[in-house]
Structure 1
Amino acid sequence: MANADMFHIRTEEAPVMPAPVSTTGVIGWMRQNLFSSIPNTILTIIGILIAYSIIEPFIKFAFVDAIWTGTDRKACLPAEAGGYVGACWAYVEAYFPQFIYGRYPVEEIYRVNIVYAMFVVLLVPLAMPSAPFKAINAVLFLFVFPIVAYFLLTGLVFGDTVILPIVETPVWGGLLVTLVIAVTGIVASLPLGILLALGRRSKMPIVKLVSVIFIEFWRGVPLITVLFMSSVMLPLFLPEGVVFDKLLRVLIGVTLFSAAYMAEVVRGGLQAIPKGQYEGAMALGLRFWQMMGLIILPQALKLVIPGIVNTFIGLFKDTTLVLIVGMYDLLGQIQSSFSDPTWSTPTQSHSGYLFAAMVFWCFCFGMSRYSIFMEKKLHTGHKR
């Protein structure tokens, strides 16, 4: 029979011991994701070497050896800096107003700044799920802001009284044109894409046929062709004396083009909804638009948030194509500055394109992160 002294019966709970350092924190994450096996370790080392070979010269060019101040090209010439020079940020600073406003009259730039400020003030609370007065904010952003921005940017005249001087759209440029095209295309293409997706799934043959033809036509035509048609060919088919502003034609073309792709993204979400949701909504006696607005579309749009934001990002980057029809967006304004001999240096184009890349990356990365935030907030059981 075993001796009772050989056994120990604990009378109180054992103290909680911390997890091993090798399984928690940064070290634990690295061991689990980067060095979990020999192949992963080899791939991690190769990836680090590749990243270093790219990041190190980028940091050296963009920051370490960059020229930050100067009045002309002499500051950014290799001979004046003792050999190698990096990015010429002095040139970017000198042209910064043109990159942001284009050739908008200097004395009227305050109007553009007011539009920028209104856009941010209305968009930020609209993007915050917990912000109060959501309905009022949405009405102001979607209906009031476009009207106010239109008159601020183009001008306002009552009879012979000039309240705001007229500024023609051909002198617009830079980030102003980029944001006008991108925001208009994004805001207008989403509801139009939803209607086209519903039309393509409709049981009415005429509606379905028109929707299919519209979607397949615009998806089968490159955006460059759309811009050429809207800018060059469309005026040839208009009655004599009828003239559409070039910016308006581009906005319509970009919106219709983006709406076709948006329709297919939304249609994918509609097809992912189980049939029981449709049957349950009909069993409640809901009409078609009630069923779509209250039951189906909220679920479908939630499922395809990544696809919707991906379309928005693609549209934002595609705004650079308007240069081919003579409109100077941010990238076009940067390219036009290369002809100025005052800042002609070996690094001028590199600096300009780097600035454009940083601006586009900031906007696209912001949309991407917001998409991830909304996915996590609205997954409600769909997370995998």
Structure 2
Amino acid sequence: MSDTHAQSVAFVRKTSIPPAPAPSNAAGPVKWMRENLFATVPNAILTIVSIYVIYLILAATLPWILNGVWTTSSLAECREVLQGTTGACFSVLTERWNQLLFGFTYPSDQYWRVLVAFVLMLVALAPVLFFDLPRKLLIITGLFPFAAYWLIWGGTIFVPIVALLGVLVGYLVYARFVAQNFALGFFGGIAAALVFWYLAGFVLPYITPEDPFLLAIPSRDLGGYMLNMMLGLTCVSLSLPIGIALALGRQSSMPLIKWICIIFIEFIRGVPLITLLFVANVMLAYFFPPGSGVDLFLRVVIMITMFSSAYIAEVIRGGLAALPKGQYEAADSLGLDYPQAMRLIILPQALKISIPGIVNIAVGLFKDTTLVSVISMFDILGMIRGPILASTEWNGVYWELLGFACVVFFVVCYGISQYSQWLERRLATDHR
């Protein structure tokens, strides 16, 4: 009786059954392809068409790349080696890499100065881009522009020292008047620095040694990708604070400051950059004192900075307009004055909102530095269109040189884009 009753009781398992593996079509690559590439009939058609287009592109370019020649000294020798087969003549890159990177007149024995400046640039950018690093490293960031100028241009060290002193004078004036009005303090600091540099220009020739420690290299000898990097980094660094000041000045309660900023922004945004570059090349020198010797590089920096700062000002103004009025009222309720409210409450939020627009302008500005080739500045495109293609050895090599320019620009622009996405995630710009 007991045995029969024991057999009629349902079996109760004391341990859990191990999980069975998911079906092949519900996990792994098959699941990802089914959900992302073949979820619907239109998606499947688009995927098949895209794969076919990619196949056509790779079928046409891969043999050309893989059969490339790297060791010849001219295009004629490349064709002899290829013997009619499809292949690229990458030898132009191995022969002219120094001109593509540094220009054709920068002394080859001074390349180390540019490389040292590039390494210092990475060190100086680190505390600005990654704010978890110690704030003491910002001292290196502040000193980098003056050290880089001396390394690349050479000459007397008193020139960067005078430039640094002018910045300090401008900062003191800014700190004195910023409590009254941010725009007044900012533009007053700029005016004080310019006056100091103008007066120091009369004294500098008398203290300049005849035999400087570093060989002086004129700006006309700068070229290649180095010129694009210097223009991009300098103009983006200068246009961001100027753009912030213009955005705040446009919202200022002082009518004179407000209308000056409005007229400047609207005028610059209505003029093409290439027109401003021609103005920098032909006319801007007439606005400086006679004999001041303001070279073309500085004039181009001024014009590109003015152009980009106007666009950045509008992006930041959009970020300021996106903030609710309660943020301004909260700053007033805490008893903060205007500079404190902008520095601690308003600008941090507005800049976070404006990150995508600022990065978009920075990337576009870096690519627009290639326009300087139209005013006879031999950047990387100027080198390709000028000395390299004009030589008899490499006349006719286009895809290899332009492809190299595309790669080096893509690396920098893609890096900027990825950093901006990381920064947006880090700062939680979606206000979650």
Normalized against structure 1, the TM-score is what?
A: 0.90
- Give CA deviations for 1:242-292 in whole Å, capped at 9, x if unaligned: 431100000000001000111111111111212222211211111111111
Distance 1:82 1:378, change over 3 A: same
Contact 1:330 1:356 in 2 (8 A): yes
- Give CA deviations for 1:288-338 in whole Å, capped at 9, x if unaligned: 111111111111111221111111100000000001111111111122210
Q: Which amino acid aligns with 2:408?
A: V
Decide which moves more: 118-127 or 101-110. 118-127
Q: Which amino acid aligns with 2:122?
A: V
Contact 2:352 2:429 in 1 (8 A): no
Equivalent residue for 2:393? 342
Alignment of 1:50-89 (within 5 A): 50-61=53-64, 63-77=65-79, 79-89=80-90
Query: C-alpha displacement at 1:12, in angstroms?
Result: 5.8
Equivalent residue for 2:316? 266
1:253 is aligned, of 300, 303, 314, to 303
Contact 1:269 1:303 in 2 (8 A): yes
User: Percent of aligned pairs with the same residue?
Assistant: 41
Equivalent residue for 2:138? 138
Query: C-alpha displacement at 1:207, in angstroms?
Result: 2.2
2:336 is aligned, of 268, 286, 302, to 286
Q: Which amino acid aligns with 1:256?
A: M
- Give CA deviations for 1:110-157 in whole Å, capped at 9, x if unaligned: 2112111211233245433433x2x2222312x211101111111123
2:369 is equivalent to residue 325 of structure 1? no
Cα distance between partner residues in 2 of 1:195 and 1:20: 60
- Give CA deviations for 1:211-248 in whole Å, capped at 9, x if unaligned: 11111111100000000001112234555434311000
Residues paired across the two proteins, number = 373
Distance 1:55 1:190, change over 3 A: farther
Q: Which amino acid aligns with 2:102?
A: Y
Contact 1:67 1:88 in 2 (8 A): yes
Equivalent residue for 1:112? 114
2:238 is aligned, of 188, 203, 206, to 188
Query: C-alpha displacement at 1:72, in angstroms?
Result: 2.5
Equivalent residue for 1:121? 123
2:269 is equivalent to residue 214 of structure 1? no
Unaligned runs of 5+ in 2: 1-6, 157-207
Cα distance between partner residues in 2 of 1:5 and 1:307: 74
Greater C-alpha radius of gyration? 2
Cα distance between partner residues in 2 of 1:110 and 1:381: 44
Decide which moves more: 290-299 or 248-257. 290-299
Cα distance between partner residues in 2 of 1:203 and 1:314: 32
Distance 1:11 1:268, change over 3 A: farther
Cα distance between partner residues in 1 of 2:23 and 2:339: 57
2:207 is equivalent to residue 205 of structure 1? no
Q: Which amino acid aligns with 1:313?
A: V
Decide which moves more: 96-105 or 155-164. 155-164
2:414 is equivalent to residue 365 of structure 1? yes
Contact 1:270 1:297 in 2 (8 A): yes
Cα distance between partner residues in 2 of 1:138 and 1:327: 33
2:41 is equivalent to residue 38 of structure 1? yes
Cα distance between partner residues in 1 of 2:326 and 2:18: 51
Cα distance between partner residues in 1 of 2:311 and 2:8: 78
Distance 1:357 1:300, change over 3 A: same
Unaligned runs of 5+ in 1: none
Cα distance between partner residues in 1 of 2:125 and 2:63: 36
Q: Which amino acid aligns with 2:130?
A: M
Distance 1:283 1:56, change over 3 A: farther
Cα distance between partner residues in 2 of 1:7 and 1:253: 87
Query: C-alpha displacement at 1:75, in angstroms?
Result: 2.9
Equivalent residue for 2:28? 25
Equivalent residue for 1:301? 351
1:171 is aligned, of 192, 217, 221, to 221
Q: Which amino acid aligns with 2:121?
A: F
Distance 1:297 1:36, change over 3 A: same
Distance 1:165 1:312, change over 3 A: same
Equivalent residue for 1:153? 152
Equivalent residue for 1:375? 424
Q: Which amino acid aligns with 1:354?
A: G
Query: C-alpha displacement at 1:26, in angstroms?
Result: 2.6
SS in 1 for 2:213: strand
Decide which moves more: 16-25 or 351-360. 16-25
Cα distance between partner residues in 1 of 2:154 and 2:42: 64
Cα distance between partner residues in 2 of 1:112 and 1:288: 42
Q: Which amino acid aligns with 2:138?
A: A
Normalized against structure 2, the TM-score is what?
A: 0.81
Task: Please tell me the root mean square deviation across aligned C-alpha atoms, in Å.
Answer: 2.2
